[in-house]
Amino acid sequence: MNITTSPADMATALAKSFAGQILRSGDPHYDEARRVHNGLIDKRPALIARCLGVADVIDALALARERRLEIAVRGGGHNVAGRATTEGGMLIDLSLMKGVYVDPNRRTARAQGGATWREFNRETQLHGLATTGGVVSSTGVAGLTLGGGLGWLMGKHALALDNLLSAEVVLADGRVVTASSEQNADLFWALRGGGGNFGVVTSFEYRLHPVGPLVTGGLIAWPFAAAWDVLRHFRDVTANLPDEFTVFGGLVHAPDGSGEKLAVMVMCHCGPLAAGEMAAERVKGFGTPAVDAVGAMPYCDLNAMLDGAYPRGALNYWKSSFLGGLDDDAIRTMIDCFGRCPTPMGQLLLEHFHGAVTRVGVADTAFPHRAEGYNMLVLSEWTEPRQTEACTAWARDSFAALRPYMGAGRYVNYIDADERDDVIAAAYGPNYARLQRIKAKYDPANLFRLNQNILPTA
Ligand code: FAD
């Protein structure tokens, strides 16, 4: 029996207690509120519940359960697969819940579920503190942390999720619980890598570290003609890095829209400036760069320096996998594939893992990818809808061409909407069976399924 009633009736029912905004089709801000980062996603929720606090989340969830609505949960809305929205269901939107509260004495911060890394870094940097966050500042703290959280500080301080101390969670049955190593430890383990499968996380408590305010970092680019040498240099550089120094490499287009192809390295050294300068010299003293924008800069600026390349509303289709290694054939294939890229916003990126992120055990958290190496991201991004077919085909073809060099591991936060269930299960690797048992305990009816879904088992 379908007991959904009209959006107007549901809005009226929710409005009896709700403190935030309730939006439905036809309301002035509905169209803006239903959009997510990826412009390819075009879904129309029956109701958007823009929560102001935990009680709003509980009420929106209760109504969705009662009316049997599909439930989507939004933090920063950056998930490329568009898992933070629903067609015809209830969108529990946390984007108004942006509080970030820093305790400089304990070196911790609590962030509400709608905060972005820009907002988080701004508050923590007031005290010269930070934790690992995303490399694009508009990404949400919530989804990024629940799935992993790769970023500039991961060599020194591991992933965002490795810095999580506790989380406040609204469970499928409406109860509010704390998950930490002392309370609901099984849930706490699962939240650190299991995505949005276990409930709505209304706030996250992180461990902070002294960082900056000045760090050494930036981008250095060479002409595409030098790509072969640059990527081999990148391989040499990343073979031996101090924990403080995280370096990503790849093939990108010039940000001016000219379509000029470049080979790049982007980096952050979070240690003393003199050490950072020396480490950066090793990267920079190579060939004839076309652009050298590496130097001392505020950590907040570093965390926003790539934002312009990922505008909200651009069309995105991504494929990614961890590489077994970066041998010459893999480099050659990358260069061939990038030569055929049809969009001046397309990229092939290599995110290097080393240091602290690789010293956490595979089963210590639900996130299993702890080997030193590279995560390869085929990032197709464009603005013209008429290019959609060519740009998605390029990503698929490039991914297929690079397949022989890839391992089995996939990063859940980059998995696109068209992947099969077995790919998603493989992304959780050896932790999947344990995640399924914990899912069965906390969300047996799989109410939270618009995510990289873990199927509950007994
Ligand atoms: P949303 O789209 O809001 O949510 C993603 C998923 O998490 C959904 O399934 C949603 O239901 C669930 N969710 C969101 N909030 C909550 C909550 N409070 N409680 C429970 N479930 C919730 N990843 C990295 O690791 N490092 C990077 O540097 C990085 N850079 C990126 C840059 C860009 C431009 C983009 C588009 C993505 C990037 N990502 C990066 C990937 C990113 O981690 C994922 O897209 C992540 O899902 C974004 O989190 P969000 O809160 O913005 O996502």
Cβ contacts of residue 278 below 8 Å, gap of 6+? none
pLDDT recorded at residue 378: 98
Q: What share of the chain is helix, strand, coil (3-state, %, to 5)?
A: 35, 25, 40
pLDDT recorded at residue 424: 87
Ligand 1 pocket check for 144: Cβ under 6 Å = yes
Q: Are both 260 and 272 inside the same structural domain?
A: yes
Is residue 3 very low, low, confident or very high in pLDDT (cuts 50, 70, 90)? low
Domain of 349, CATH number, reads 3.40.462.20
With tokens 């509260």, the residue in question is 101
Is residue 417 very low, low, confident or very high in pLDDT (cuts 50, 70, 90)? confident
106: its two tokens: 């304990």
Higher pLDDT, 179 or 258: 179
Answer whether residue 199 shows pLDDT above 60: yes
Q: Are both 325 and 368 inside the same structural domain?
A: yes
pLDDT recorded at residue 5: 81
Using the mean position of ligand 1's atoms as its centre, give its distance from the Cα of residue 430 in Å.
23
Pick from 139, 192, 200, 316 the residue to mutate for probing ligand 1's pocket: most ligand atoms within 8 Å of its CB: 139
What are the φ/ψ torsions at residue 404 (nearest 5 degrees)? -60, -20
Closest residue by CA, ligand 1 atom 6: 143
Ligand 1 pocket check for 132: Cβ under 6 Å = no
In a domain, 69, yes or no: yes
Answer whether residue 11 shows pLDDT above 50: yes
Q: Are both 263 and 352 inside the same structural domain?
A: yes
Is residue 419 very low, low, confident or very high in pLDDT (cuts 50, 70, 90)? confident
Using the mean position of ligand 1's atoms as its centre, give its distance from the Cα of residue 77 in Å.
7
Domain of 49, CATH number, reads 3.30.43.10
Pick from 146, 267, 379, 442 the residue to mutate for probing ligand 1's pocket: most ligand atoms within 8 Å of its CB: 146
Q: What percent of the chain has pLDDT over 90?
A: 94
State how far the Cα of 206 lies from the Cα of 110, in Å rounded to an integer: 6
Cα 147 to chain centroid, rounded: 7
Q: Are both 156 and 278 inside the same structural domain?
A: no
Is residue 2 very low, low, confident or very high in pLDDT (cuts 50, 70, 90)? low
- Mean pLDDT, range 160-184, rounded to an integer: 98
Ligand 1 pocket check for 196: Cβ under 6 Å = yes
Ligand 1 pocket check for 114: Cβ under 6 Å = no
Which parts of 10-146 are beta strand (E)?
21-23, 47-50, 71-74, 90-93, 100-103, 108-112, 129-130
- The per-residue pLDDT for range 345-356, each reduced to its tens digit, is 999 999 999 999
- The per-residue pLDDT for range 334-393, each reduced to its tens digit, is 999 999 999 999 999 999 999 999 999 999 999 999 999 999 999 999 999 999 999 999
Question: Could you tell me the residue range of the domain that residue 355 belongs to?
Answer: 214-414
Is residue 1 very low, low, confident or very high in pLDDT (cuts 50, 70, 90)? very low
In a domain, 170, yes or no: yes
Q: Are both 236 and 379 inside the same structural domain?
A: yes
- Contact yes or no for 395/374 (Cβ under 8 A): no
Total structural domains within the chain: 3
Task: Return the exposure string of 189-208: e unless at least 16 CB atoms fall within 10 Å of the residue's CB, then b.
Answer: bbbbbbbbbbbbbbbbbbbb
- Mean pLDDT, range 389-416, rounded to an integer: 95
Ligand 1 pocket check for 219: Cβ under 6 Å = no
Q: Are both 60 and 123 inside the same structural domain?
A: no
State how far the Cα of 52 lies from the Cα of 94, in Å rounded to an integer: 7
In a domain, 143, yes or no: yes
In a domain, 9, yes or no: no
- Mean pLDDT, range 2-31, rounded to an integer: 92
Domain of 119, CATH number, reads 3.30.465.10
Q: Are both 117 and 29 inside the same structural domain?
A: no
188: its two tokens: 């706490």
Answer whether residue 421 shows pLDDT above 90: no
- Residue among 422, 421, 416, 413 at smallest CA distance from 195: 413
pLDDT recorded at residue 337: 98
State how far the Cα of 212 lies from the Cα of 224, in Å rounded to an integer: 33
State how far the Cα of 46 lies from the Cα of 73, in Å rounded to an integer: 14
In a domain, 12, yes or no: no
In a domain, 155, yes or no: yes
Using the mean position of ligand 1's atoms as its centre, give its distance from the Cα of residue 321 in Å.
17
261: its two tokens: 């192809």
- Contact yes or no for 295/348 (Cβ under 8 A): no
Average pLDDT, the chain: 96
Using the mean position of ligand 1's atoms as its centre, give its distance from the Cα of residue 116 in Å.
10
- The per-residue pLDDT for range 259-301, each reduced to its tens digit, is 999 999 999 999 999 999 999 999 998 999 999 999 999 999 9
Using the mean position of ligand 1's atoms as its centre, give its distance from the Cα of residue 201 in Å.
13
Q: Are both 259 and 352 inside the same structural domain?
A: yes
Pick from 41, 50, 74 the residue to mutate for probing ligand 1's pocket: most ligand atoms within 8 Å of its CB: 74
Pick from 38, 70, 78 the residue to mutate for probing ligand 1's pocket: most ligand atoms within 8 Å of its CB: 78
Pick from 135, 413, 439, 449 the residue to mutate for probing ligand 1's pocket: most ligand atoms within 8 Å of its CB: 413
Using the mean position of ligand 1's atoms as its centre, give its distance from the Cα of residue 165 in Å.
19
pLDDT recorded at residue 208: 98
- Mean pLDDT, range 58-87, rounded to an integer: 96
What are the φ/ψ torsions at residue 349 (nearest 5 degrees)? -115, 145
In a domain, 6, yes or no: no
Angle at CA of residue 442, ends 439 and 445, nearest 5°: 75
Using the mean position of ligand 1's atoms as its centre, give its distance from the Cα of residue 224 in Å.
31
Using the mean position of ligand 1's atoms as its centre, give its distance from the Cα of residue 46 in Å.
22
Using the mean position of ligand 1's atoms as its centre, give its distance from the Cα of residue 417 in Å.
14
Is residue 324 very low, low, confident or very high in pLDDT (cuts 50, 70, 90)? confident
Last residue of a domain, which of 44, 74, 93? 93
Ligand 1 pocket check for 149: Cβ under 6 Å = yes
Residue 436, helix vs strand vs coil: helix
Last residue of a domain, which of 93, 123, 142? 93
In a domain, 83, yes or no: yes
Ligand 1 pocket check for 151: Cβ under 6 Å = yes
In total, the chain counts a number of residues equal to 458
Q: Are both 317 and 186 inside the same structural domain?
A: no
- The per-residue pLDDT for range 213-244, each reduced to its tens digit, is 999 999 999 999 999 999 999 999 999 999 99
What are the φ/ψ torsions at residue 261 (nearest 5 degrees)? -90, 145
Q: Are both 358 and 436 inside the same structural domain?
A: no
Ligand 1, atom nearest to 135 Cα: 28
Q: Are both 290 and 396 inside the same structural domain?
A: yes
Q: Are both 278 and 385 inside the same structural domain?
A: yes
pLDDT recorded at residue 4: 64
